Amino acid sequence: MPCNFSKGAGVEIIYRKLLQVRSCIIVAGVLVGGLFSSWVSAQNGLPGYLVGPEDILEISVWREESLQREVLVRPDGRISFPLVGDLQVAGSTPGEIQSKLSARLKKFIPDPVVTVVVTKVGGYKIYIIGQVKQSGQYAVGRYLDVVQALALAGGLTPY
């Protein structure tokens, strides 16, 4: 049975299908990589959240009312806290920040009990480019996987 497509149209259809398959393979590879990374993190007991710029932390020192406050993580990744001064916190877990604050406060308070809670996540910005409907910068308040990011960008373009 003869083919009704001209030679150029057939090549164009095959090219489009190859682009779709390539996009699916790339997305699948990124998803598998992300899942593997999450699995490795879970196996190693690594922390799930690292503090970043624009996050808001609630810091309190037990029995020290003057040392209870909300602080904003500055764009340089530091916070300012009484008796401690400036402290680099971006890239640290809340537990690591507690330890850093306790170590510095020991000079002034015997055995300080410090609590650090992330009350607002403000620093996650992602950039989506490529064959999506709405590429650009997106501010998100939590971790996104690739499929969620693609959905945020309106999905893949048809071609």
pLDDT one-digit tens code per residue, 106-130: 999 999 999 999 998 886 778 889 8
Give me the DSSP letters along 117-148: EEEE---EEEEE-SSBSS-EEEEESS---HHH
Kindly report, residue by residue over 68-107, the tens digit of the pLDDT: 999 999 999 999 999 999 999 998 999 999 999 999 999 9
Q: In CATH, what class is 56-120?
A: alpha beta
- The mean of the pLDDT values for the chain is 80
Q: Hey, where are the domains in the chain?
A: 7-47+123-152, 56-120
Give CA separation, 78 vs 25, 81, 91, 134, in Å: 40, 10, 10, 33
